[in-house]
Structure 1
Amino acid sequence: MVLSRESEEFIANLRMYLMTSGKNDHEINEIAEELRGHLEDAESRGKTVDSVTGGSPKTYLETIRNEMKTDYFGLTRLAPMFILLLIAYFITGSAIRGDLSFSLLKLVAYPAIALLSIGAYIYYFRKMSAANYSTKKELSIFIAIQIITTLSLAAVLFIDIFFFEPFYIPSRETMWVIAALGALVFIAGAIWTKTWITIILPLFLFGPDFILQFLQYNETTELIISASGLYLGMAVVVLILYWQNKKQNPHKS
């Protein structure tokens, strides 16, 4: 039976809500299929989603979430790769450019910004699932979080340059080794997560810097090319998220 647009959207929102709440994937699939059965039965009798949710989708989602156990083992299993990817994103670009250094500010601020950014994404993913935002509003939120994160990182870099002294600066050869290890982490992350985002985004972020190492350009041109790669990479990731959202929920506008 083909469900209505409203029902398909609610099933997609249920999956996203439970996933961002740290629930087990297998149990999420079971709950989603059970919900689909209830919705098919309701629609066959001329009823709507409200007949299943009791008129409050948010309360319905919260009730299901509270009845399910949090998959702490699954979250712990993802932690090592998650940490490696964070480290790789922060140091690979600098290693390629040859300006990698370690200071107390970077060691504290970069992980804090990363965790806050990820926390913001998870929070809004869950909130959007319960509130059923439009795709345009979702994209606006994603872009806003990304811009705030980028500006925060730029601010840390600026403060670090003028007010902090690095306690360790690797040799150029060591930096190339670090960059190569970062590339391996991105590839491993793509295999682990079964998505190309962990490869596509680094290509746009760090690819221009790698190419510029073998070409002669003035500093202004290098800055423009690097910045263009950054924002193009952000745009590609947003488009990928948009495409995946439309694929999972083709009726949503």
Structure 2
Amino acid sequence: MNDLKLSNESKAFLENLRLYLFSCGKNSDEIEEVVEELKVHLLEAEKNGKPIDKIIGKSPKEYMEMVSKEMSIDFRSWIQYICLIIFGSFSFTIFSDLLEGNLSYSVLEIVGYIIIGTIFITLIFAGFKYISTTNQSSKIQGIKLFIIMSLPLFLFIGLIYLNQTIHTPIIHFGNTASVIIGVITTFFIIGMSIWSKTWIFIISLVLLIVPKYVLSFTPLKHETQLIISTLITFAGFSIYLWVLNKIANK
């Protein structure tokens, strides 16, 4: 069924439904089946001159909630997404730290990364769920996602300063162990990129490492370098998301 034949209102609702069900932890294949089935009903209704309300009712949010309740949660996929995000965040940190030599992490850092990763996952899914049920412009949605993406970055900055204040046991990795971890992490990033069919992980890695590496040759203090590199990375992510949004609109 050609999606272009649908009205903009119907297409927007289908995209919001897909996003809502994904944020509720539903199976991706089942989501596509539900969306395709509803697409047929919406197209048939529009051919007969009926408004979208005749199919989904007056409240799109209530319709989404009703569909979600009829579908089971895909715990296996949720666990996969959570592991990918947490290990992915560790991967970027590992690459960045390898530039400074052998790896070493305090217990506070390890626990902090896990907590921040968990917070980020919770915010992302909650943000997707909220955006999909509110009829707002792409600009407003982009601003809210921007805020959601900002919080973990500020938490990471806070963790850096907290780690300098509170001293906890440090786990040191030798040269061989650091190289092995770096190789495994490289394959992990490549595997994630192939699996997701996107360049976002490679681009994210470049944005995280290159600014920090370039600034390491400047006379700036280490703390200042961290802050500037974080801001550059944040700006790079914002530009990348803006470009993706422009491409999607076209």
Q: Is structure 2 residue 244 aligned with structure 1 residue 219? A: no
Question: RMSD between aligned alpha carbons?
Answer: 2.7
Whole-angstrom distance in 2 between the partners of 1:28 and 1:47: 25
Whole-angstrom distance in 1 between the partners of 2:219 and 2:178: 22
Whole-angstrom distance in 2 between the partners of 1:171 and 1:144: 38
Q: Size of the alignment, in residue pairs?
A: 245
One-letter code of the match for 1:86? S
Q: Which of 225-234 and 121-130 deviates more?
A: 225-234
SS class of match (1:75): helix
Q: Which of 133-142 and 167-176 deviates more?
A: 167-176
| Partner in structure 2 of residue 127 of structure 1 | 130
Identity of aligned residues (%): 29
* Superimposed CA distance per residue, residues 51-79 of structure 1 (whole angstroms, 9 cap, x where no aligned partner): 11121111100000000111223334555
Whole-angstrom distance in 2 between the partners of 1:80 and 1:105: 20
| Partner in structure 2 of residue 143 of structure 1 | 146
Q: Of the candidates 4, 8, 11, which is equivalent to residue 5 of structure 1?
A: 8
| Partner in structure 1 of residue 31 of structure 2 | 28
Displacement of 1:32 in angstroms is: 0.9
Q: Structure 2-normalised TM-score?
A: 0.85
| Partner in structure 1 of residue 57 of structure 2 | 54
Displacement of 1:14 in angstroms is: 0.9
SS class of match (2:133): helix
Q: Which of 96-105 and 7-16 deviates more?
A: 96-105
Q: Of the candidates 98, 107, 110, which is equivalent to residue 104 of structure 1?
A: 107
Displacement of 1:209 in angstroms is: 3.4
Q: Is structure 2 residue 166 aligned with structure 1 residue 163? A: yes
SS class of match (1:22): coil
More relative contact order in 1 or in 2 (CA 8 Å, sep 6+)?
A: 1
Unaligned runs of 5+ in 2: none
Q: Of the candidates 199, 202, 220, which is equivalent to residue 199 of structure 1?
A: 202
One-letter code of the match for 2:151? I
CA contact (8 A) 1:100 1:169 kept: yes
Whole-angstrom distance in 2 between the partners of 1:175 and 1:240: 35
Displacement of 1:109 in angstroms is: 1.7
Q: Is structure 2 residue 189 aligned with structure 1 residue 186? A: yes
CA contact (8 A) 1:92 1:178 kept: no
Displacement of 1:240 in angstroms is: 5.4
CA contact (8 A) 2:108 2:168 kept: no
CA contact (8 A) 2:25 2:74 kept: yes
Unaligned runs of 5+ in 1: none
Change (3 A) 1:238 1:157: same
Change (3 A) 1:71 1:227: closer
Q: Structure 1-normalised TM-score?
A: 0.84
